Amino acid sequence: MGVRKSTPLPSSAEQVIDLTDIEETRAILGEGDANLRALRDRLGIQVSARGTRLLLRGPSHALAQAKAAIQALRAIYRRQGRVESSDILQAITVTEQDIEMPNEGALQLPGKGRWATPRTPGQKAYLDAIARHDLVLCTGPAGSGKTYLAVAAAIHALGQGAVNRIVLARPAVEAGEKLGFLPGDMAEKVNPYLRPIYDALDDLLTPEQSHRYTERGVIEVAPIAFMRGRTLNRSFAILDEAQNCTVAQLKMFLTRLGNQSKAVVTGDVTQSDLPGGTSGLVDALQTLQGVPGIAEVALRDCDIVRHPLVTRIVEAYERRRPRTS
């Protein structure tokens, strides 16, 4: 099975794509055939499905784009067993830019058949930087995969035996005056600030794996304040939402690195919640520029892989943001 071979397509032609089975077909079509409608709307072609066969009609250049987009979805499905609602628009966008979808670069996770796959060239470049450098500073808008891919890289490194533990840290911006008024012990007080990291773990690990790793201390999730005085050997450390760290906090985190360790610092410099002063992430990007062993990666709006509306929301706010000379 696969894409049927044919003679070169004329200016208006048709293309038949045979999918593997009904499960793959349902994933490619999307809920309520949403992916087929996206192909029609964005590429101006006709698409119909009969069983596991797709029939595409339209201009030859549009059919070539549609074929490439569908093949990208098939690669995603084979890697992770599902296709997200944002994948089709991302695949079409990449083909419109004449950029090959990054089917390579997927990270194998602990457990049979589990993978984390970069969905844009920018995301693939991000994972490549993590593989090649001991410290990566990654900036980008909401939904571009900064945290998710960093956690995936850490879990991959753990599964491969490259590190012995994962340390995930995040600033609790309101840890001064307001945190004391929240109910519960310290763990319960800071848990809301750490929830996004737990969400990434829940998506990348089975419940049994997540429970086992956290119970044994192999994976530790904590506010950045808990990092002071420690040295992290054979560890993969991630600092999320670093734009909300002070300069002193970020310097403290970076100097925790021990032997055979990696660190990834992520954040969005346009969304700082600090009450005042310089963001530690902005300062680090300036201070560490050009230092050997450190990579800086800037993800963009085109790397957003959440709901398609997220990209348009980010772009709308960007248009309103004052430009600096």
Question: What pLDDT digit, counting tens, does each position of 270-319 carry?
Answer: 888 777 778 999 999 999 998 999 999 999 888 887 666 777 787 788 77
Arithmetic mean of pLDDT, 120-149: 91
Q: Tell me the pLDDT band of 173, cut-offs 50, 70 and 90.
A: low
Distance between CA atoms of 190 and 179, rounded to whole angstroms?
8
Distance between CA atoms of 132 and 125, rounded to whole angstroms?
11
In one-letter notation, the amino acid at residue 315 is E
Arithmetic mean of pLDDT, 261-268: 94
Mean pLDDT taken over the chain = 80
Distance between CA atoms of 308 and 113, rounded to whole angstroms?
28
Please, what are the domains in the chain?
A: 12-96 (3.30.1370.10), 107-320 (3.40.50.300)
pTM for the full predicted model: 0.66
Nearest in space to 87 (alpha carbons), one of 304, 300, 299? 304
Q: Residue 263 has what pLDDT? A: 95
Please report which helix (H) or strand (E) contains residue 266, including its range: strand 262-267
Q: Residue 101 has what pLDDT? A: 47
Other CB atoms within 10 Å distance of the CB of residue 248:
11
Please report which helix (H) or strand (E) contains residue 95, including its range: helix 87-96
